[in-house]
Every structure is written in structure tokens, then in C-alpha cells.
Amino acid sequence: MYFTDRGIEELAERRGDEQVGLAWLADRLSEFVDLYPDFEVPVDRLATWLARLDVDDLE
């Protein structure tokens, strides 16, 4: 496990049973970038990666 995985694990533990829409996620990512502009590039790369996943990859 990488040090950065702790946040991912916390997210899965605290909110893993919830279902959210991609519009909601996009809003939260935009909010995050507004608060932490230094993370704009990595957040944008993550969003682009998620947007370009084939539907088959998500199942």
C-alpha cells in the first residue's frame, strides 16, 4: 500500500456504500480545485482518464 492509498481506503470505508452521479463527482472535483489550485493538473488528468474509460472497463 502506498501512503496515498490511505485516502482512497478512507473514502471506500466511509462512503463506499453510497451511489453518486458523475455530475456530482465533477462538481466536487471542481470545488476541490477551487480550494486547492495547485492540484488542478492531477485532478484534470484523473477526470480525463475517468471520462475516457470504456464502459466495458467499468463493469
The whole-number pLDDT of residue 2 equals: 58
Reported residue count of the chain is 59
Q: How far apart are CA 42 and CA 56, in angstroms?
A: 24
| pTM of the model as a whole | 0.75
The whole-number pLDDT of residue 3 equals: 63
Q: Which residues contact 43 (CB under 8 A, 6 or more apart)?
A: 29, 32, 33
The whole-number pLDDT of residue 48 equals: 93
Model confidence at 54, pLDDT cuts 50, 70, 90, reads confident
Write out pLDDT tens, residues 3-52. 667 888 999 999 999 999 999 999 999 999 999 999 999 999 999 999 99
